[in-house]
Amino acid sequence: MPRQTDDRRETTPALPEQSRAALATALLRHRIALATLAECVCDFARKLARTGVSRPEILAAVHEIMAELHVSTIEGDGYDESLDSMVVWCLDQSALATH
């Protein structure tokens, strides 16, 4: 059954309660998994940075590990923009903390 949204005055299909609950659970699990991934990637990237490894080498090392684990969505040339962004963010945060 469609419902009317207050902000846009458009009708959108209502999501059955069981589907809504399943979607909410999946979203929560996804966010937890991303937080865990970010924590692990950041720890690894920062450890490499402390030993003098360059950013391009750190990015390559992270991509290599993800490919080995078969959990990456890397295709073609191995470039994964979201993973690269995560590594760069971690290193930037680490640099800000040391200044």
Question: What tens digit of pLDDT does each residue of 25-49 get?
Answer: 999 999 999 999 999 999 999 999 9
Per-chain mean pLDDT for the chain: 83
**Host domain of residue 84:** 37-99
Domain annotation covers residue 97: yes
pLDDT at residue 95, rounded to an integer: 81
Taking a C-beta distance cutoff of 8 angstroms, is the pair 87, 58 a contact? yes
pLDDT at residue 76, rounded to an integer: 52
Residues of the chain short of pLDDT 70, as ranges, are 1-11, 70-80, 99
The number of folded domains in the chain is 1
Domain annotation covers residue 5: no
pLDDT at residue 82, rounded to an integer: 84
Domain annotation covers residue 69: yes
Burial class (CB in 10 A: 0-12, 13-18, 19+), 90: buried
pLDDT at residue 51, rounded to an integer: 96
